[in-house]
């Protein structure tokens, strides 16, 4: 699973940047074609919801999705061969 923001729905309110305990969302710096500063994702693979949801069949957080007023946040399946950056945090 991977976290995505729907560019067509997001209005750049930045609520998601305030609620994520891992600070995965950061304020967008470049306006998209709608003139909206869609938040950037900082190493979204750190989101336990994305990585463990399938393995354990449960949702661990989901705060961003519950908070987004425009239902712009979702998780999509990845291709089996999609490359990942592996980062270990202590």
Classify residue 69 by its DSSP letter.
Answer: T
Closest approach of ligand SF4 to the CB of residue 5, in Å: 5
Contacts for 56 with CB less than 8 Å, ≥ 6 apart: none
Q: Which of 1, 4, 22, 53 is close enough to bind ligand SF4 by CB under 6 A?
A: 22
Q: How far apart are CA 21 and CA 37, in angstroms?
A: 21
- Are the C-beta atoms of residues 64 and 19 closer than 8 Å to each other? yes
Residue 14 binds to ligand SF4 (criterion: CB under 6 A): yes
Q: Which of 1, 4, 8, 11 is close enough to bind ligand SF4 by CB under 6 A?
A: 11
For ligand SF4, the binding residues (CB under 6 A) are 3, 5, 10-16, 19-22, 24, 39, 47, 49, 61-64, 67-68, 70, 72-73
């Amino acid at each position: 699973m991977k976290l995505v923001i729907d560019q067509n729905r997001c209005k750049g309110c930045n609520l998601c940047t305030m609620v994520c305990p891992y600070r995965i969302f950061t304020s967008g710096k470049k306006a998209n074609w709608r003139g909206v500063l869609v938040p950037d994702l900082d190493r979204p693979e750190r989101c336990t919801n994305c990585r463990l949801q399938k393995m354990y069949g449960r949702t661990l957080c989901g705060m961003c999705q519950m908070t987004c007023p425009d239902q712009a946040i979702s998780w999509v399946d990845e291709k089996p061969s999609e490359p990942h950056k592996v980062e270990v945090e202590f």
